[in-house]
Amino acid sequence: MVKVATVFFVYMLFWAVSAFVVLPFGVRNASDEDRPDLVPGQERGAPTRFNGWRLVVRTTILATIAYVLFYANYIEGWVTIDDVSIIHPPASLSKGY
């Protein structure tokens, strides 16, 4: 039985990582728009219009897809630790060497 708190916190980890993945996409800065009306002290590379809700929606979609794939792999066992381990290769790979 999977605990609800565990599912929630693992999903939050996926959500936080997804936020950093999604963050750079769709950002327009002052140098892209050639806007001369910068506030004194504003960096030309700073975003001009930040839409937080768009970031939240995109992050939630990406995190949900990634978590569903993670959970399906956890249940079905498509990729196991033996498949990706480089320290102790799987027995099927070490035969014949």
Average pLDDT of the chain to the nearest whole number: 85
User: What confidence tens digit (pLDDT) does each residue in 16-58 have?
Assistant: 999 999 998 888 777 766 666 777 887 877 777 788 999 999 9
Q: What is the pLDDT of residue 56?
A: 96
Q: Three-state SS across 41-63?
A: CCCCCCECCCCHHHHHHHHHHHH
pTM of the model: 0.74
Rounded Cα distance, 51 and 4, in Å: 31
Q: Which two tokens stand for residue 56?
A: 């939240």
Backbone angles phi, psi at 33, to 5 degrees: -95, -5
